[in-house]
Amino acid sequence: TANYLATAAMTAAQCDAAIASGASLVRQWAAAGCNAIGFGEMGIGNSSSASLLTHFLTATALDDVIGRGAGMDDAGLARKRALLAQAAARVAGRQLTALDALAEFGGFEIATMVGAFLAAAAARMLIVVDGFIVTSALLVAHALYPNVIDYCVFAHGSVEPGHRAQFRHLGGAPLLDLGMRLGEGTGAALAFPLIRAALACMSEMAGFEDA
């Protein structure tokens, strides 16, 4: 993507293409019989994108949604805050839609997940949501189609402070709170056995009449 300190990270056409790509992938898996999907991501610097998206889509103060990412020291965190404030100031005075914010500050991986969220909800799949960056994509999807939240299970609560703002906005709570920061789908992978266990209790556990 482009440098969002100077210009939009993506053109509208690039953003739309990434969304369409994510939707296409999920439609393929749904057609193959998949009914549950976990979302994770790998990226460099994308906690910054997630912070900006969270700021604009939840109206939370920018400093309150900026964390240490992969483990910045105090000096690094101060620099990150200054740079993200500079990025936010570039669009001052504009009323950004969710798609505007995504194009201005998102990455292709976040835009791809937006499309994947929407397609998964349309296919009535169970959606397992990983950490802070994944939930920033869900914020965009939710702004476009609020009912997407009805298909989502939040896997874990990240130590990134912005994740708490996302939960407040979306009205969700995580299954796990393990002090995790990494992302990469680890929380979603850990949550799947809990979900399977809950389904087994509902559908296979003996009741008093059976006993």
Phi (first) and psi of residue 129, to 5 degrees: -100, 125
**Rounded distance, CA 109 to CA 20, Å?**
12
Judged on CB neighbours under 10 Å (0-12, 13-18, 19+), 195 is middle
Which residues lie across from 70 on neighbouring strands?
Answer: none
- Pick the catalytic residue: 160, 184, 204, 209? 184
Q: Is 184 a catalytic residue?
A: yes
Token pair, residue 63, equals 């400093």
| Residue type (1 letter), 84 | L
**Rounded distance, CA 45 to CA 76, Å?**
12
Any alpha helices (H) in the chain, and if so which ranges? 12-31, 46-58, 74-90, 98-105, 108-122, 132-144, 161-170, 186-204
Judged on CB neighbours under 10 Å (0-12, 13-18, 19+), 118 is buried
Residues annotated catalytic, as ranges: 184
